[in-house]
Chains A and B, each alone.
Chain A
Amino acid sequence: MLDPDNGLSLTIARIVQRLKGSSLHSQLERQARISLHKPEIKLESLKEDIKDFLKTSGWEKKLQNAVYSELNVFPSPCHPAAPPEHMKEPLAYMRKAQGSWEKRILKSLNSMCTELSIPLAQKRPVSEQKELLNKWNEMGTDEPDLSLFRPVYAPKDFLEVLTNLRNPNYENGEQPSFRSHLGLIQVPLKVKDIPELKEDFSELGLNIGQLGIDDSAQVPPEFFENEHVRVGQKVLAEQDSAAAQQYVRQGCPTALRADLWALILNISNQPEDILYYEQLKSNVIQHDLLVDSLIYKDVKLTASNDDYYFVFEDYLYQVLLCFSRDTSVLEHFTYSSATPPKSYIRGKLGMEEYAVFYPPNVAPLCFLYHEPSKLYQMFREMYVRFFFRLHSISSHPSGIVSLCLLFETLLQTHLPQLFYHLREIGAQPLRISFKWMVRAFSGYLATDQLLLLWDRILGYNSLEILAVLAAAVFAFRAVNLMEVTSLAAAEAVLADLSTLKVMPLLQIFLFATVT
């Protein structure tokens, strides 16, 4: 067992190490130096005076936010003697599974390259570079021939891999009984039950005001909405990350959401951030990656056909193409079990490595941010904090494996008849809900509902709510689902989620269902 004091000092040491040399660090130093000119700074009490100055000028708050951000992102340290892979992912069989999965993806990519005689990466000829630069804001109108490109993998493939995960040290026993888990996921990870979830998500309780419920047209705004907006404005004025995170658990007013999310994720859009984005953009212009075509095809198939997101098609290309070249994203590998992949773009192109990501969810963010570099940063931060866990195999409670298991367990425990019925007709519930969770419901819910859901992801710093919502949806449609007799019919019942109101569903499932 780790001595608690030891743990704390380890954490402090790690955070100090990470913040040292960051731009915040140099800004603080600069501010401290500037303050020396101020009359209130006296030589005899130099340290105290500078500290006071940093406090009153708001810089201490920024430092607090940065520390808070680091705490949120990184797992607590374990034993000092643990090797780095163990820090990333403590379970060996999970590491192994993620490794094989990555190998499989890369193999698929490589064979696509060979088949189509296209290199993984190449430098663009100058004329093409010029053309792309001109077209940068309207790549949506391009019509390249993408028919030969297949997606590297579909959610179904990923689900197959997860279904086949086994812990070699765990003996399942001969006979499945009513106590055994009847779902697709067969690894013994610990997931929460409803009493624990009720405690974790206590702010969603029935007697607490929520946006998404208590701001509907029938409720006079004096009851909750007006006060909530006022508090939100105050939180923004104080620029306090931790307070913001607590606040959004009850939902963000639409007008405040963009700023609140940026505050929680500690995004400030400094000049160096804009510069970084421009640099990524020039990388895109100069080099053509095979992954680009895959991204292009995916966006064309999804967002450009979507009622809400088609307007932002061009932004999506810009963000995703830059994202696939962002090596700083690889940093997140230090706390995920996914190791930097073995495929490199050979040194002469000047790019070290990149990874293949399942094209993630940019589109909803376009409703909040229309300035490209800010949009990019928000998206990247959301990805490295949360969404990457949906695409890699790990034992983390917010990892896709845990979410799937949580979903199945909730359903089997609280709607056993429904679960059994669906299983009997060959419609394992996870087969339907997997695609919702892996995309964090983007593309399935109405945008305003999706944003309310993502408010809570940020507020609780966890993706578990996705599994709870998935179970709540099944509970909501339980009556219809009990009558279907095939997987196709079950899919049909659950095909259209665009009219669902997320918060009432969650509240009822967690707090108003007899357990």
Chain B
Amino acid sequence: FRIMAGKVKWVTDIEKSVLINNFEKRGWIQVTENEDWNFYWMSVQTIRNVFSVETGYRLSDDQIVNHFPNHYELTRKDLMVKNIKRYRKELEKEGSPLAEKDENGKYIYLDFVPVTFMLPADYNLFVEEFRKNPSSTWIMKPCGKAQGKGIFLINKLSQIKKWSRDSKTSSFVSQSSKEAYVISLYINNPLLIGGKKFDLRLYVLVSTYRPLRCYMYKLGFCRFCTVKYTPSTSELDNMFVHLTNVAIQKHGDDYNHIHGGKWTVSNLRLYLESTRGKEVTNKLFDEIHWIIVQSLKAVAPVMNNDKHCFECYGYDIIIDDKLKPWLIEVNASPSLTSSTANDRILKYNLINDTLNIAVPNGEIPDCKWNKSPPKEVLGNYEVLYDEEMAQSDGPDRDLRSRSGQSTGVKGNRARDSGKPVLTTWK
């Protein structure tokens, strides 16, 4: 074992106080990327460079970074869908009960991503699907962008044709994968509270993909639109109605800087329990945990499980009015900007707890460690899924618990798979 050789040396591309304050409070020392560093909070561009064939370099045992090299398998909208589709097909081929379908051909347990197509590659498939439901609304999202940029809604095929015409004639052509779009069935029946649409932002920390070990941050939040929701076609262009991204909402007339249009997840829980009952609320939250774990399992086989890496994802989830959760997307670099005082506190604590898990004891890391932090350091994180523990409890348990849907017990399937009790949030 090593004697305390010195303080951890850190670098960051992201100049945010919630990060820097956390490094400084641990007594870590700031260095530049050209020097010897132990901990680098990278932007996604940097991680690409580090692991690229031309510009990459090997990381040494005492270096840790905050992204997996090919995180985009999960965090690019088109690849996420592709991986989930592949995962489902694989399960179906092996005859797993998880891949069971209902009489309409829909997956019972794995239908958590809205119907999605890549454009322009799957254009014809999309048109076929569109014609089945000509009154449906679809949402167009550029694969490589964030914060709601470039998103728009369509409800007529002519709008797509116009878009594809426009993009061909302008200088950026849809050849490069950066300009690829996905088009998904728009969830036009979101659960509304106070008449407003909202989505959930949940933070999930992954320390290793194989075996899968992930943690869910207990303090997620809901982001509300400032404007009343209406599915009316006249308001399809009004992004204040449809997109919950704070980056968009904060330019609205009614944006409030005190609460930032955010609710804690525990508020949501209280509201749902009071108005809908405890069982359906528990079921909803169980399903949310489920879909997060499934999405990680879907990409685990293709992820480069580099031992120098951990990652904190921002999951975006929408709940529809039947209380079904949908996975909208996963963010590799969830915003660390704080829009309100509460926000700042939350993100500061998020980074603090993340660092406590990823860099044990705040000491110079050794990437060969077993990545099994003791319970005391989890802070506001809870174990979401621990594959090693699940397997040690017996391989069959995993599958058996799946087939019983709501068993009437606090039917927490994740719990049945052997990990510590992830009960209802208090």
A1 at the interface (CB under 8 A from B): no
Contact among A254, A255, A257, A311 with B193 in the assembled complex (CB-CB below 8 Å): A311
User: B194 and A314: CB pair below 8 A?
Assistant: yes
**Majority secondary structure, B binding face:** mixed
B273: chain A residues at CB < 8 Å are 254-255
A357 at the interface (CB under 8 A from B): no
B275: chain A residues at CB < 8 Å are 258, 367-370
B344 at the interface (CB under 8 A from A): no
User: B278 and A141: CB pair below 8 A?
Assistant: no
Distance between Cα atoms of A366 and B261 in the complex (Å): 17
| A269 CB → nearest B CB, Å | 15
B274 at the interface (CB under 8 A from A): yes
User: B267 and A217: CB pair below 8 A?
Assistant: no
Distance between Cα atoms of A137 and B193 in the complex (Å): 12
User: B274 and A368: CB pair below 8 A?
Assistant: yes
Of the listed stretches B3-11, B99-107, B231-239, B251-259, name the one at the interface; the rest are far from the partner chain: B251-259
Contact with B along A477-502 (1 / 0, CB 8 A): 00000000000000000000000000
A460 at the interface (CB under 8 A from B): no
A306: chain B residues at CB < 8 Å are 259
A444 at the interface (CB under 8 A from B): no
Residue of A nearest to B424 (CB): A217
| B23 CB → nearest A CB, Å | 28
Distance between Cα atoms of A258 and B261 in the complex (Å): 25
User: A255 and B195: CB pair below 8 A?
Assistant: no
User: A255 and B277: CB pair below 8 A?
Assistant: yes
Residue of A nearest to B196 (CB): A311
| B130 CB → nearest A CB, Å | 31
User: B194 and A367: CB pair below 8 A?
Assistant: no
B178: chain A residues at CB < 8 Å are none
A196: chain B residues at CB < 8 Å are none
| A47 CB → nearest B CB, Å | 42
User: A255 and B194: CB pair below 8 A?
Assistant: no
Shortest Cβ-Cβ A-B pairs, 10 listed? A311-B194, A254-B273, A255-B278, A138-B228, A255-B277, A305-B258, A307-B259, A217-B426, A312-B194, A368-B274
User: A310 and B271: CB pair below 8 A?
Assistant: no
Number of interface residues, chain B, beta carbon within 8 A: 29
Contact among B258, B267, B274, B423 with A258 in the assembled complex (CB-CB below 8 Å): B274
B227: chain A residues at CB < 8 Å are 138, 141
Contact with B along A126-148 (1 / 0, CB 8 A): 00000000000110110100000
| A483 CB → nearest B CB, Å | 25
Contact with B along A369-409 (1 / 0, CB 8 A): 11000000000000000000000000000000000000000
User: B274 and A367: CB pair below 8 A?
Assistant: yes
B302: chain A residues at CB < 8 Å are none
User: Besides the contacts A311-B224, A314-B195, what 4 more A-B pairs have beta carbons closer than 8 Å?
Assistant: A140-B254, A141-B226, A217-B426, A257-B274
Query: Which residues of chain B in 354-381 are interfacial with respect to chain A, using CB atoms and an 8 Å cutoff?
Result: none
| B319 CB → nearest A CB, Å | 14
B263 at the interface (CB under 8 A from A): yes
B270 at the interface (CB under 8 A from A): yes
A447: chain B residues at CB < 8 Å are 267, 270
Query: Which residues of chain B in 276-315 are interfacial with respect to chain A, using CB atoms and an 8 Å cutoff?
Result: 277-278, 281
B342 at the interface (CB under 8 A from A): yes
Query: Which residues of chain A in 340-375 are interfacial with respect to chain B, using CB atoms and an 8 Å cutoff?
Result: 366-370
12 A–B contacts from the bound complex (CB under 8 Å): A253-B278, A255-B278, A257-B274, A258-B275, A305-B256, A305-B258, A307-B259, A308-B263, A310-B256, A311-B224, A314-B228, A367-B270
User: B195 and A137: CB pair below 8 A?
Assistant: yes
B258: chain A residues at CB < 8 Å are 305, 307
| B250 CB → nearest A CB, Å | 14
Residue of B nearest to A305 (CB): B258
| A367 CB → nearest B CB, Å | 5
User: A308 and B267: CB pair below 8 A?
Assistant: yes
Instruction: Answer whether A137 and B228 are a contact pair too, CB < 8 Å, given A253-B278, A314-B195, A367-B270.
Output: yes
Distance between Cα atoms of A143 and B267 in the complex (Å): 28
| A133 CB → nearest B CB, Å | 15
Contact with B along A160-196 (1 / 0, CB 8 A): 0000000000000000000000000000000000000
User: B259 and A315: CB pair below 8 A?
Assistant: no
User: A143 and B253: CB pair below 8 A?
Assistant: yes
B254: chain A residues at CB < 8 Å are 140-141
A52 at the interface (CB under 8 A from B): no
A217: chain B residues at CB < 8 Å are 423, 426
Instruction: Answer whether A311 and B270 are a contact pair too, CB < 8 Å, given A137-B228, A258-B275.
Output: no
Residue of A nearest to B277 (CB): A255
Distance between Cα atoms of A138 and B195 in the complex (Å): 8
A117 at the interface (CB under 8 A from B): no
Residue of B nearest to A221 (CB): B410
- Of A258, A311, A370, A448, chain B has the most CB atoms within 10 Å of the CB of A311
- Of B224, B253, B426, chain A has the most CB atoms within 10 Å of the CB of B426
A368: chain B residues at CB < 8 Å are 274-275
Contact with B along A286-310 (1 / 0, CB 8 A): 0000000000000000001111101
Distance between Cα atoms of A314 and B274 in the complex (Å): 19
Residue of A nearest to B275 (CB): A370
Distance between Cα atoms of A140 and B227 in the complex (Å): 9
| A254 CB → nearest B CB, Å | 4
Query: Which residues of chain B in 36-82 are interfacial with respect to chain A, using CB atoms and an 8 Å cutoff?
Result: none
Distance between Cα atoms of A307 and B264 in the complex (Å): 9
Residue of B nearest to A313 (CB): B194
A310: chain B residues at CB < 8 Å are 256, 259, 261
Instruction: Answer whether A216 and B426 are a contact pair too, CB < 8 Å, given A307-B342, A311-B194, A311-B263.
Output: yes
Distance between Cα atoms of A141 and B254 in the complex (Å): 7
Contact among A141, A258, A305, A311 with B253 in the assembled complex (CB-CB below 8 Å): A141
User: A255 and B274: CB pair below 8 A?
Assistant: yes
Residue of A nearest to B267 (CB): A308
| A253 CB → nearest B CB, Å | 7
Distance between Cα atoms of A46 and B426 in the complex (Å): 56
Distance between Cα atoms of A313 and B259 in the complex (Å): 13
Distance between Cα atoms of A447 and B194 in the complex (Å): 16
A143: chain B residues at CB < 8 Å are 253
User: B270 and A254: CB pair below 8 A?
Assistant: yes
| B225 CB → nearest A CB, Å | 11
B281: chain A residues at CB < 8 Å are 255
Contact with B along A207-228 (1 / 0, CB 8 A): 0000000001100000000000
A305: chain B residues at CB < 8 Å are 256, 258-259
